[in-house]
Structure formats: C-alpha cells, structure tokens
A and B are shown apart, each in its own frame.
Chain A
C-alpha cells in the first residue's frame, strides 16, 4: 500500500509528475493571491469538480475530514467571536483548495514515477531516496506498531480503557518501536552500501515517465500565470 495513491488511468495519472506538482504549486499561489472570498471559493469548487471528473471522490472525503475541524474553529473564531464571516469563508476555502490540490497529486502521482522523473533530471539519489523512503516508511511503521501492540497485549499490557491507562501504555509501545527502527537503520545502511549506493555512477531511472511538449507548455503557462498574479497583487 502506498500512502494516498489511488491506482487509475485518467489524464492526471498519465500526466508527467512535474505537471501535477506545478499544478499544486500554482493552486497555492492562486488560493492566496486571488481576490477573496470569490477567488479561493471558485478555486475550491473548480478543484472539487476536477476531483469528481477524475473519478477520485475519495480525495474529497479525505480533504473534508481534514478541513471540517478547521472550518469549525474558523467559524467560531472569525464568524461568531470576531464577527468576520467572510474572513472565515476565505481562509476555509483557501485551506480546502490547497488540500484538494495536494491530495490530488498524492492520489495520481505514483512515487516510483516521481522518483524516476527526479533522477532523470539529475536530482541526487539521496534526495530521491528520502522522498520514496519516507512514503514507504509510514505503512511499515504502522504495521510494526500493530505487531508491538499485539505482542505487549499477549504479555498482559492493557492498552484499552480509560485515558490514563492508554497514556501509561504508550511508553511500553513506543520504546520497542523506536529501538526497533534504530536497529533496522544500521542493517539497512549496510545493505544499501552493499547494493551499490556508494557507486560513483549516477543512478539509472528505471522507467522515466514520458514528457510531451504540450505538458511542458502547460507547466510554463501555469508558472507564468502564478508569477503574473503575484506581480499584479504586489503592484495593486
């Protein structure tokens, strides 16, 4: 399992990984720089439509689950206490748009394709490894933590019940997890070394994703639009 990735064959999946990243970066600038509240709200609606068209309603559900608590506090702070509901709407829409954009990238860009795209552009192996390694570490740690919970429960540790009991259970769960990870680091370092990581050659990208002139044009246009918007906001 890869965190956030949803297998598919739509245009977003087929696009070069850099196109998705540039799109997400542009969304951040648009969300902040477009006139509020209409701009960020329209952006959030457009991205919602894009996610639905791409057949990725799960992205919207995830964005909603992260956004809801924030929206609630924004509503209370700006809407009720601060008497500025438009401000709450603006910030809420900005957060939603940015979240949807990045979750769309996460759902459609396979990490292996991104790593290969980075390696193809001459990015050092260590940086590419950091990215892919971090994405793979989450499910592994989750599994390891579950194993430790089960092992400790077999030895009589009670991890359910009152809040105090749960807090007390954290230490016997966290220590083996941390020590296990540290122990693994040594062994992994050895095997990486033995598998040619120290080789002087630049690592070969195994399946470099195809890029096209139209996609390059889209990336440049998005970048130019974002830059123009920044200039316009500063000048205005």
Chain B
C-alpha cells in the first residue's frame, strides 16, 4: 500500500468540528481513486493530510495514523524523505506558481531542480512533461502571461516532472476548457500505471470514466468506499448529487439503484 490512513481525524484551527472524522483507507499503486462529496465534505483536506501539508502548512490538529510511502508525511523526517515523491496539484494555477521562474520551461523545472537532480536529467524530464501536456510550444513564455487553462497544464507538467510515486490532484481541470478537461482526465489511467493517483473532483461525469475506485465523503466521514461504478451508482450518492448527470436522470425516471453512470451504461441497461 502506498497510502494508508487509520482512524484519521483532522480539525482546522478555530473550528469546532472535524474536517475529517475517523477516516480509514488504504490506497495502492495502479489505481485512480476518486474522492468526492458535497461542499465541505473534506475531499481537499484528505489530500492535504496524505501530502502531510495538513497540519504542516495549514496548522490544526490531526489524530490517527497516516503513512504515505512508509513515512508519516507530517513529520520532519517524512517531509525530507517524501520531497518530490508525493505530487500535489491544486485547482488554482496562479497560486501554485513558484514565483521564481521567468519562463514556462523554468517553471516546469522548478521541482526537479529543488530535488538537486543533474541538469541533463532535468532537461530530459522537463521536455517529456511539457510534451505530455502539450505545452512545449510555450516553453519560452513568461508563465504569468498564460491563460488559466494553459497555466494549469504547465503546473501539472511541473508536478509530473518530479516523477512522483503518489499523485494527489485536487480539481485539476477546473480552469480548463471542456476539451482540455477531457484530455486531462483521459490521461489519468496511464499515469496510474506507475503510481498511485488520487483525484478529488466534483466533475463526476468525466471522473467516473477514469476512476477505478471511489471514496464518498460526507461532512468529513467516509461513507462509501468501493469500485467507482458501485459507489457513484448507489442511491445515497445519487440522492445527494454526488453522481453523474445520467445517474440523476435514471433516478428521476424511476430506475432502481445501481444506476447507470454513463450514456453507454444507460444504453446497455435499457437493452437488457
């Protein structure tokens, strides 16, 4: 297991309720795990806890056991050992800019350079990551002059250039146009072949097509964990709006739970 949480609770400073409450889960490489829930469910917090940034950067109180790649990511030792091995992408690209790069190429190279890699290795991985996200033609541009969608692709390339073993994505396609969002989601299963991918998203129409597994959170508690189709097709998920448009339509027209999640699912079910 690459990420393991045992009875983890987390509370932000000044709050009188837990953002996460007694969450236990184990994630393995080779899977895209979707984390979803309603607003305030704790999806982003779960990712921050896995990265060790909660409470390291956010402050607050964490209880329970967190192990990411065999280390507690919130400890000093864990931070050092896990540097670059756990990648995190946030929804807002402009706050993720390093503030130290004057070209897109430098921005993508920021993480690998921090890891002290040799220049030929950095050049190789930066080129690969920029091509993967189709931003190679922007290499010489000032990243601050890019559109939100372009910048998010650059930030994703920067995270991937560090070759992380665990990839934590918090609403990665929020700034992208529909075609860009679709291609970003389509990329996730291939990225998960070599690593653990955790995707926090409310864009469930797209996410369901790429997720192997889903965790459904409600006010900080894990209420469902299983294959994505099963979790998102349940009556509880559809009733609370944590499912796909097709599933909501299926429920509205009176189909029984185990709702189809995509058009293809719906067609298949109707044929049966």
Contacts and interface: CB of A to CB of B under 8 A. Distances in A.
Interface of A: 1-2, 110-112, 115, 125, 128-129, 132-133, 136-137, 139-140, 184, 186-206
Interface of B: 48, 51, 53, 56-58, 79-80, 83-84, 86-88, 90, 92, 95-103, 106, 109-119, 122, 142, 144, 158-159, 162
Given A111-B102, A186-B58, A188-B99, A194 B51 contact: yes
B56 A193 contact: yes
* Most chain B Cβ neighbours within 10 Å, of A2, A140, A191, A205: A191
Nearest to A132: B100
B57 A186 contact: yes
10 contacts: A110-B102, A115-B100, A132-B99, A136-B99, A136-B100, A190-B88, A194-B87, A196-B111, A198-B83, A201-B115
B119 A204 contact: yes
A82 to B, nearest CB: 47
A139 B97 CA distance: 14
A195 B51 CA distance: 11
Contact of A187 (B86, B90, B110): B90
A139 B143 CA distance: 13
A192 B113 contact: no
Main secondary structure of the interface of A (DSSP, over half): helix
A129 B162 CA distance: 19
Contacts of A205: 113
Contacts of A111: 102
A199 B77 CA distance: 10
Nearest to B48: A190
A199 B53 contact: no
A232 B162 CA distance: 55
B100 A196 contact: no
B117 A204 contact: yes
A136 B162 CA distance: 24
Contacts of B117: 204
Given A189-B57, A191-B88, A184 B95 contact: yes
* Most chain B Cβ neighbours within 10 Å, of A111, A128, A187, A199: A199
Contact of A204 (B79, B90, B122): B122
B113 A204 contact: yes
B162 A192 contact: no
The 8 closest A-B pairs by CB, nearest first: A201-B116, A196-B114, A199-B83, A194-B88, A187-B95, A195-B111, A191-B96, A132-B100
B225 to A, nearest CB: 25
B149 to A, nearest CB: 18
A133 B99 contact: yes
A129 to B, nearest CB: 6
B80 A200 contact: yes
A236 B103 CA distance: 51
A133 B142 CA distance: 14
A127 to B, nearest CB: 12
A198 B86 CA distance: 12
B103 to A, nearest CB: 8
* Most chain B Cβ neighbours within 10 Å, of A111, A112, A190: A190
Contacts of B79: 193, 198
B28 to A, nearest CB: 21
Contacts of B101: 112
A199 B78 CA distance: 10
A141 B51 CA distance: 29
B116 A206 contact: no
Contact of A199 (B56, B58, B116): B116
Contact of B80 (A128, A191, A199): A199
Nearest to B111: A195
A188 B96 contact: yes
A188 B95 contact: yes
Contacts of A194: 51, 53, 86-88, 159
Given A112-B102, A194-B53, A195-B158, A187 B96 contact: yes
Contact of A195 (B48, B58, B144, B159): B159
A112 B100 CA distance: 8
A190 B116 contact: no
Nearest to B53: A190
Given A191-B88, A195-B162, A206-B109, A125 B95 contact: no
A189 B144 CA distance: 18
Contacts of A206: 106, 109, 113, 119, 122
B194 to A, nearest CB: 19
Contacts of B99: 129, 132-133, 136-137, 188
